């Protein structure tokens, strides 16, 4: 019985020590169209993941930018209104001073009329009194107009200050939310961007420029797509069988004739 067990162990040892035939490795020329297509596909995967992370922020970046622009505009408006209020107050003070001077002149000319020696001097002083009274009426009219303007501008100024306070509070909330989201995704986004840059360095400048241009123009940011159900994975237009065969062979870079996206075989996504 012991001898049988020893023989089985020996047979297993022999099997274990026999060299295993390795599968033939498939090598791809780094300068071949297929290699370039695979780099482009991987690059698209990394860039799409970055896009997804940025989508987590939603409309927050735009909302923050809009609030910042609105607050800047309100600050300029408040500065202008404050300047207008100051100028109007200065104009009112000047007109009131003109009234005081004209009133003093009327009093002076009226006193002088009591000591005139002839009608000519009296008439001359009377004209001066009349002129000064007209100046007083005009100045009083201007004071009333400026006072109304001043009141309106102060109301506008207070309203602008209330709005800027509300918008500043909204901005702080939005910025805090955006900061929290970016803090959660920053590490992953940085790593993906690093991988993207590494892959971009492996592409020819002309090819990279074409990729970036298509990606920029594409609404979903997809510049490289697989063939799905006999159609382009980007615009979903049908692809002729012969063209599908060329795509599957990966011997040249083929773009969709409808949307301009780079097409790769569905096996690239496996």
pLDDT band with cut points at 50, 70 and 90 for residue 30: low
Residue 89 predicted with pLDDT over 50: yes
pLDDT of residue 270: 64
As given in the structure block, the two tokens for residue 125 are 């002083």
> Does the pTM exceed 0.85?
no
The pLDDT tens digits of the residues spanning 180-197 come to: 887 877 788 888 888 899
Angle between helices 119-200 and 60-113 (to 10 degrees): 170
Strand arrangement of the beta sheet that strand 262-264 belongs to: 231-232, 224-228, 262-264, 254-255
Lookup result for tokens 């009426």 = 137
Calculate the average pLDDT of the chain. Answer: 85
Distance CA 159, CA 163 (A): 6
pLDDT of residue 115: 87
pLDDT of residue 11: 43
Asked: is 26-55+204-270 a CATH 1.10.287.1490 domain? The reply is: yes
The pLDDT tens digits of the residues spanning 126-161 come to: 999 999 999 999 999 999 999 999 999 999 999 999
Q: What is the dihedral of CA 220, 223, 226, 230, to 10 degrees?
A: 80
Residue 62 predicted with pLDDT over 90: no
As annotated, the residues of the chain forming the CATH 1.10.287.1490 domain(s) are 26-55+204-270, 59-185
- The CATH code for residues 59-185 is 1.10.287.1490
């Amino acid at each position: 019985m012991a001898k049988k067990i020893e023989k089985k162990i020996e047979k297993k040892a022999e099997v274990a020590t026999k060299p295993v035939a390795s599968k033939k490795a498939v090598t791809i020329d780094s300068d071949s169209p297929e290699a370039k297509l695979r780099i482009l596909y991987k690059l698209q995967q990394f860039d799409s993941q970055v896009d997804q992370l940025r989508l987590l922020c939603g409309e927050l970046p735009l909302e923050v930018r809009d609030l910042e622009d609105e607050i800047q505009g309100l600050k300029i408006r408040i500065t202008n209104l404050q300047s207008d209020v100051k100028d109007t107050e200065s104009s009112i003070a000047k007109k009131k001073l003109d009234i005081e001077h004209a009133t003093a002149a009327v009093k002076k000319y009226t006193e002088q009329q009591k000591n005139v020696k002839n009608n000519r001097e009296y008439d001359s002083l009377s004209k001066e009194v009349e002129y000064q009274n007209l100046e007083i009426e005009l100045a009083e009219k201007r004071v009333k107009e400026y006072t109304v303007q001043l009141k309106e501008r102060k109301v506008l100024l207070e309203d602008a200050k209330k709005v800027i306070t509300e918008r500043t509070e909204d901005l702080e909330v939005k910025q805090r939310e955006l900061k929290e989201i970016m803090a959660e995704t920053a590490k992953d986004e940085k790593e993906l961007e690093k991988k993207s840059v590494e892959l971009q360095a492996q592409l020819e400048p002309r090819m990279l420029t074409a990729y970036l241009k298509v990606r920029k123009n594409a609404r979903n940011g997809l510049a490289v797509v697989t063939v799905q159900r006999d159609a382009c994975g980007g615009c979903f237009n049908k692809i002729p069988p012969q063209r599908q065969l060329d795509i599957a062979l990966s011997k040249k870079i083929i773009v969709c004739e409808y949307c301009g996206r780079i097409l790769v075989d569905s096996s690239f996504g496996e």
